[in-house]
């Protein structure tokens, strides 16, 4: 869905062989057909909360394509609620997908990339991994954690010719909000003028970041402004978010 499908299509258009993963086998096969290039794409069911499923699809990928040059960690969902009221089971479940699923995948793919002489891991994070969002706090926490582990791993893996790229989109026009788990305090912090960029724009930024072996990509570039404001004037940004919460 959304960013994941757009990234698959962007890499396929660059000539890559692509494997698409989703918990829903029918959904991921439909996405593969939309991506096109049937002779060099494959689709498998996989729930990243279970490491044995990651191992299975990795083995299938190596069987079909012999190597993995790029691994994209994009699985994730949101939790809309306050810290005081959020359901802890829902919070744990989100961390299992958004963070621990990505870490499990990294641990599975790193030995493969070491053996083949290099590769790239792309973690799809969020601007919410730089600025904590009220009423999305647990989601922000998963992305802060993903940012930290990806950037630390990049340093650890440089000697192995493995780059770890962290992609941080701002508002994206996808069904993310509709598919988020909803709690009892449903307030959103978003400027009325922010309509969101397309998933295709995020995908293009991810491919460009991969080709340039960057450590981080923030998209759109205008998101650098609130990030810098938060670094320099956190109280001002927090005041603004408090005003926007509704």
Single out the residue of 104, 153, 98 nearest to residue 124, CA to CA. Answer: 98
Sign of CA dihedral 78, 80, 83, 88: negative
Give me the count of residues in the chain.
Answer: 246
Enclosing H/E stretch for 28: helix 25-35
The reported pLDDT for the residue numbered 184 is 61
- With beta carbons less than 8 A apart as the criterion, state whether 35 and 14 touch: no
Partner residues linked to 43 by β-bridges:
20
The reported pLDDT for the residue numbered 82 is 92
Enclosing H/E stretch for 72: strand 70-73
Catalytically active residues, by annotation? 139
How many helical (H) and strand (E) elements, i.e. helices and strands, does the chain have?
10, 8
The reported pLDDT for the residue numbered 195 is 73
The reported pLDDT for the residue numbered 159 is 97
pTM beyond cutoff 0.85: yes
> How far is it, in rounded angstroms, from Cα 43 to Cα 125?
23
Residue 73 C-beta-side C-alpha neighbours within 13 Å:
34
The reported pLDDT for the residue numbered 243 is 82
The reported pLDDT for the residue numbered 87 is 94
- With beta carbons less than 8 A apart as the criterion, state whether 169 and 194 touch: no
* Residue segments in the chain with a per-residue pLDDT below the cut of 70: 174-179, 182-194, 246
The reported pLDDT for the residue numbered 192 is 55
CATH of the domain at 122: 3.40.50.720
The reported pLDDT for the residue numbered 116 is 96
The reported pLDDT for the residue numbered 189 is 67
Instruction: Provide the domain limits for residue 171.
Output: 2-244
> How far is it, in rounded angstroms, from Cα 210 to Cα 166?
10
Number of domains in the chain: 1
Enclosing H/E stretch for 101: helix 101-116
Residues 6+ apart with CB under 8 A from 132: 140, 141, 144
């Amino acid at each position: 869905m959304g960013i994941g499908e757009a990234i698959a299509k962007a890499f396929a258009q660059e000539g890559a062989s692509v494997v698409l993963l989703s918990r829903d086998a029918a959904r991921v096969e439909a996405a593969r057909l939309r991506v096109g290039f049937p002779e060099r794409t494959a689709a498998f069911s996989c729930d990243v909360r279970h490491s044995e499923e990651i191992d299975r699809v990795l083995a299938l990928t190596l069987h079909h394509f012999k190597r993995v040059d790029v691994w994209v960690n994009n699985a994730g969902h949101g939790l809309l609620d306050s810290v005081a009221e959020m359901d802890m089971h829902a919070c744990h479940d989100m961390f299992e997908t958004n963070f621990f699923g990505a870490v499990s995948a990294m641990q599975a793919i790193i030995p493969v990339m070491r053996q083949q002489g290099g590769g790239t891991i792309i973690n799809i994070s969020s601007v919410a991994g730089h600025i904590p969002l009220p009423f999305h706090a647990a989601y922000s926490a998963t992305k802060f954690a993903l940012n930290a582990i990806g950037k630390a791993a990049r340093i650890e893996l440089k000697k192995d010719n493995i780059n770890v790229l962290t992609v941080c989109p701002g508002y994206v026009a996808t069904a993310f909000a509709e598919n988020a788990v909803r709690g009892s305090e449903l307030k959103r912090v978003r400027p009325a003028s922010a309509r969101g960029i397309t998933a295709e724009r995020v995908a293009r930024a991810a491919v460009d970041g991969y080709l340039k072996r960057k450590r981080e990509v923030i998209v759109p570039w205008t998101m650098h402004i609130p990030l810098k404001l938060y670094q320099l004037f956190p109280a001002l940004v927090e005041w603004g978010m408090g005003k926007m919460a509704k």
